[in-house]
Structure formats: structure tokens, C-alpha cells
Structure 1
């Protein structure tokens, strides 16, 4: 035994050193820092993306954070070009980007953008001051000043077209959600048409300070929009805002977190694992993360999944077809 102990110790120490070296090698090509493209301050993308970035950075021992951007359309371009490692986007703009129809880069097929995980549905909702007398879409007067969020955002891309389809004539205004909420309160806007996860921070803040109407779609308006645009039926629960007395009809698009396809597989595997296995922590960042669960990967029919993300899903019993993996 005395003659074997040193050899045993040597084997154990050697094995530990090899394991340590292997772990180090696995991270050798990881980025030392990362940035997440979000959207304007006051919107859910900013709160969700910044909180998620801090969570990932803390847990993986990296430097990372969220950055204000123009939203989903710009995030696709920033990730595709390698200017940002991660971004948050919506399926409508994602479909345009991979088909070379992005308004920011017409004709450019953005093929360096991969899906990581589902976030939540983005409801399209409308708010006006109660003092305006606007209680329905048909109440919106001709020439109304409507804020649609940042230029080229999901809201700005789809909401004006939806309202035009429903016969609304308006003056189009752009800006960050917080700014638009302030302009609505100050009487500089008549309506704000939001496309953002609920509760929208700007609306929650606004209804503390004044009376607000959350305007829902009628059944006919809902049917018209569902037939004409890549959206799904959605219900805004009455519990979302103190203003709502009952659930409100709306439409929505799904959001996904995206990554540059050329990022290391092991890195994206660990980021996906961390996110998908800690939903309690994600919900503490923003309650919309309740739907940031692996079962909802089925709502991505547009972007290929990053191989690192796909590996985690497949290891945990979630099927992804080969043609949906980069």
C-alpha cells in the first residue's frame, strides 16, 4: 500500500489536471465579453435583454450587458454583421431578414443569424388617454398623431399597415416608448400603438399618473388583421394593467433570442442551458419570461437554430428537424 499511494495520488492529480485543462480548452475560443441588442428604454426588450445579459455574464464569469438599439430589425443586422453577439428579435422581421427583405438592407440575405431560445409573444396593443374619448379603433379620428415606437421596429413595421387596413388615417410618429408615453401624457400624441411584451413599463408608469384607455380589437377587426398579417390571436389578461377591467383582444408575434451562427458551439450550449434551466430566475427579470421555456421552440419556423442550442434541446428530449439547424 505504501508503494502504491504515491502512484495513486499521481494518477488522481494528473487526472484532475487533465480535466482542468480540458475545461479550460472548452472555453478557449469563447468571447471574453458580449453585448445584447435590445430596443429603446422603457420597452420590454430593454428590461428583458439587459437583465438576461447580466444573468449570463454573472453565471459564466464574462463581461456582458444590454445595449439600446432600434429594436428587432436592427438587432438582426447587428448580429448578422458580428457587431453584437446576441440580440432579441421578432418572427416577422426575422422572416424578412433571412429572405433578403430587411428594410435596413434590401437584398441582403442575413444568414449569420441563429435562434437560441423562445422569449414571449409580443402583443400589439393600443393606448390613449381616457380624456381623449378614444375607446375603440373606430374612435381614432382622421389625422390622429400616433406613436409607433422606434423607426424600423416591429411595431413601426407592422402596426401602421394594420391600422391602415382597418381604415385609420393618421400622422406617423416615432420614438422610444418612454418618450412616446410622455408625449401622450402631454397631449402631443393622440394614440400610442405598442408592440412590446406586457406589461409595457411605459404604460404601467403612465396609468399611475393619469387615466388611460387600453383599446382592444373588435372581433371583426381581429379577423381582418389575422387574415392579412403574420400574427396570432392574443388575449391581454385583465390583471396586466390596473386600467383593464376585463381581458382584451389583441394580436401578437413571437420573439426569440438570437446569436451569431459563427459563435462557438460550446458557448451557445452553455448559454442556452443556463437560460432554459433557470426559468424562476428569468421570471424575476421580467414576468413575460414565463413563456421562455423549451416547449415554445416550436414557434420558430423561420431561423435555423444554433448547433449549440440545438444540442441542448435534443439532449433534453425536444426534437428539431435537421433542416432547422444551422
Structure 2
């Protein structure tokens, strides 16, 4: 009789422990960003930190998020579609290309991509040596033939979109027009400072820490190029890109505004991520915007009223649930079928 009582008590104890473990179970997810010297990485780390603080410390149904580096938007589309990560920061245009199998993903659609929200603007920022930039506009690029430049990391969204822009302004073979190498944000800024490059493109949110480093270290020797109105019209025609002004004194040695172009960067996810997880993360982000905006200046543009800006692919059902709760009108084309 005692043996049976002990056995029953042991089974009961295991049941209690098992129930407690189930209650305390944590679901862990990854968000893919870009190199550490741009804006994607700190933004991704900020989102992951917020999720850990708000959803990873509650008594039950804990959700944790960790940030990983990557080569940027193009890489992130592949990483997410292959479920090597669960969330990613991606340029709007690259998300569109990936989902519909066009552009750089011609014939290879990634139909498991789902959008959550617009985050911040991805801005074209090209730093040129003063002696190679007499007009201070993107027209100066036409005299850059054979010059040593970095337009982005290999296969990054920043690189591919800048090459698209070069074609639109009349440079027919951008891959060979300049002497290209491929580096992360910090590495290309340091290479410019050390005299190994003639110009660098930094496609990211504003401000970009690597742009700050280059502009400060080479103040009086470099400038950030503006788009002329005509050129800006050419490169934005038929795309999600639009006009963007970088305010004066955003960077050292930049007394005038920079007229450039930008597109929304999106937080996207995969269809494999549970609805409740995406709902909780979306809700947490918008209920804690002051925290996110303190993480990186580029997130000052983030707002519930512009959450769907630049989104052309279906929203994740978890995000749809939150937007419906707060009264956001969702176009039918953004509802996943």
C-alpha cells in the first residue's frame, strides 16, 4: 500500500512539474538584420530587446527574439524564405521582388513571405571625394568610370538598387563602369578614410554611424551627393522609392540639406510563424514606440498611421488582427488568401 502511495505521489509530482514547465516554456525566434555598421542591425537589436523585456519575462507563454547579422535585404529574403530566421528587416522593393519572383528574384518567387509593418526609410547616401564631385550631385557619378567604389555588400539590396539607379541615369553597365569591391558599412567607411576608395554608397536609415565616421574623419575632403529634381524623378518613376531630405547638420561637415531618395524598410516574417506570436510582437512594438525611437534615429518615422506604407505583399494574419483592432483600414490585396 505504501509503495502505491509513493508511486502515485511521484506521478503527481511529475505532472505538476510538467505542467509548470509547459507554462514556462519559451518560444525562441531569430530576426535577420544586416552588417553591424548600418541601421538594420541596431534596429533589429532594439526590436529583439523590446520583445525580450516585454514578452520574454512574463510568467507564461514567453516569446524571445534574438538578432543575427546578414548581408542585408537580398540575403534576408533568402534566409527568411528558407526558414533560417523567422523575422527580417528588408527593403520594400526587395520584399516585392522576392514575393512576386521579379527583379533580382526573377522566376523564383518566395510566396511564404509575409509583411508586418513599415519601420523606417532606407535612404541613398553616397559619399564622394570633393575633387571628384564638382557639382555635388549624382551627376558626378558619370565621371566615376574606373574609380574605386563600394556600392554595398555582395548581393545586398543597397548594391542592387544602386545599380538599378545608375542604369536609370544613363550608366548602362554599372557592374563594370566602376571598379567595385564589396564590404560592410564600417569596412567601406574605413577604406574611404584610409585612401583606398574614391566613393562609397550607404543605403540605410538616417543617421548611419558609418557615414558619420567617414564625414567626421574626412571633413572638408568629402561630400554627400544630392539628386537633382530631374534625376530624382527618373529613379523613382514606377518604384516604391520617393523623395527624401536629409536635414542639414545630420552629419559632420554637412551644412546644407541633402536631397535624396528613400523607400520604406519593412519588418517581415514567414508564413511559418504562429499568428499569436506575430500579433503579440506587432502589438508590443506599437505600444512601445518611444522605446524603439530611442534605439535609433531612423525609427522616428515609425507610426501606426504609416504602418502599411510601401507594403505590396500580403500581411501576416497576426499583424492583420492587430491592425483591425486599432482601426487601420487594410487594402484587400494585403490580406493573405
Give yes or no for TM over 0.5. yes
The structure 2 residue matched to 1:204, chosen from 180, 187, 212, is 212
- Which residue of 1 is the match for residue 314 of structure 2? 304
Aligned-residue offset at 1:137: 2.8
The structure 2 residue matched to 1:43, chosen from 32, 38, 45, is 38
- Which residue of 2 is the match for residue 116 of structure 1? 116
Q: Distance in 1 between matches of 2:121 and 2:186?
A: 21
Query: Which moved further from structure 2: 54-63 or 257-266?
Result: 54-63
Contact kept in structure 2, 1:235 and 1:247, CA below 8 Å:
yes
1:158 aligns with 2:161: yes
Contact kept in structure 2, 1:102 and 1:108, CA below 8 Å:
no
Q: Distance in 2 between matches of 1:312 and 1:235?
A: 31
Contact kept in structure 1, 2:216 and 2:251, CA below 8 Å:
no
SS of aligned partner of 1:96: helix
Contact kept in structure 2, 1:50 and 1:66, CA below 8 Å:
yes
- Which residue of 2 is the match for residue 180 of structure 1? 188
Q: Distance in 2 between matches of 1:109 and 1:164?
A: 24
Contact kept in structure 2, 1:129 and 1:185, CA below 8 Å:
no
- Number of residue pairs aligned between Structure 1 and Structure 2: 300
SS of aligned partner of 1:52: helix
Aligned-residue offset at 1:297: 2.5
The structure 1 residue matched to 2:276, chosen from 266, 288, 292, is 266
- Which residue of 2 is the match for residue 225 of structure 1? 235
Aligned-residue offset at 1:229: 4.7
Task: Tell me the alpha carbon deviations over residues 131-155 of structure 1, each in whole angstroms, 9 at most, x when there is no partner.
Answer: 6555333334321222111122121
Contact kept in structure 1, 2:226 and 2:258, CA below 8 Å:
yes
Q: Distance in 2 between matches of 1:102 and 1:136?
A: 27
Q: Distance in 1 between matches of 2:232 and 2:133?
A: 22
1:237 aligns with 2:240: no
Aligned-residue offset at 1:226: 2.3
Q: Distance in 2 between matches of 1:261 and 1:290?
A: 28
Root-mean-square deviation (Å): 2.1
Query: Which moved further from structure 2: 224-233 or 85-94?
Result: 224-233
Q: After the TM superposition, which parts of structure 1 deviate over 6 Å for at least 4 consecutive aligned residues?
A: none
SS of aligned partner of 1:246: coil
1:53 aligns with 2:48: yes
Task: Tell me the alpha carbon deviations over residues 296-326 of structure 1, each in whole angstroms, 9 at most, x when there is no partner.
Answer: 1331341111111111111101011343122
Contact kept in structure 2, 1:119 and 1:289, CA below 8 Å:
yes
The structure 1 residue matched to 2:179, chosen from 152, 171, 174, is 171
Structure-to-structure mapping, 1:1-326, within 5 angstroms: 32-61=27-56, 62-101=63-102, 103=104, 106-130=106-130, 135-140=136-141, 141=143, 142-168=145-171, 169-211=177-219, 212-227=222-237, 229-326=239-336
Q: Distance in 1 between matches of 2:256 and 2:133?
A: 19
CA 1:262 to 1:147, structure 2 compared with 1: closer, same or farther past 3 Å? Answer: same
